[in-house]
């Protein structure tokens, strides 16, 4: 079953290579999506793929060195996910 999810990460998640590390982790999973910094200091992650693959990807982020930078995160399903080719860092 295909799942699409939006995750917001809070903490010391900007200026520490967070987006680049997430993109590197994503290369190990069969998912598409994007990660970007938000003006309020959070990082937004969008991911689409098989539900177990998306969950494994999110677990890998939580178990990586990035966990030291994450104070809080929230997840919500994406009912109408944008179409992505691969996994990208967005600068918008």
Q: Residue 53: which CATH number?
A: 3.30.70.100
Q: What is the pLDDT of residue 83?
A: 87
The residue ranking higher by pLDDT, 38 or 81, is: 38
The residue ranking higher by pLDDT, 11 or 91, is: 11
What does pTM read for this prediction?
0.94
Domain count, the chain: 1
Arithmetic mean of pLDDT, 69-77: 97
The residue ranking higher by pLDDT, 81 or 55, is: 55
Domain, as residue range, for 10: 2-86
Of the chain, the end-to-end C-alpha distance in Å amounts to: 30
Catalytic residue among 12, 19, 23, 85: 19
pLDDT over 90 for what percent of the chain?
A: 88
Burial of 18: CB neighbours in 10 Å, binned 0-12, 13-18, 19+? buried
Task: Give a yes or no: residue 91 inside a domain.
Answer: no
Task: Give a yes or no: residue 62 inside a domain.
Answer: yes
Active site residue 55: no
Catalytic residue among 37, 39, 67, 80: 37
Please count the other Cβ atoms lying within 10 Å of the Cβ belonging to residue 40: 7
Task: Give a yes or no: residue 59 inside a domain.
Answer: yes
Active site residue 39: no
């Amino acid at each position: 079953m295909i799942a699409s999810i939006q995750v917001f990460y809070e903490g010391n998640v900007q200026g520490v290579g967070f987006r680049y590390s997430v993109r590197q982790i994503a290369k190990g999973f069969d998912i598409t999506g994007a990660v970007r910094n938000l003006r309020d200091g959070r990082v937004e992650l969008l991911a689409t793929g098989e539900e177990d693959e998306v969950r494994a990807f999110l677990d890998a982020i939580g178990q990586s060195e990035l966990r030291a930078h994450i104070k809080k995160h929230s997840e919500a399903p994406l009912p109408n996910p944008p179409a992505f080719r691969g996994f990208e860092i967005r600068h918008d």
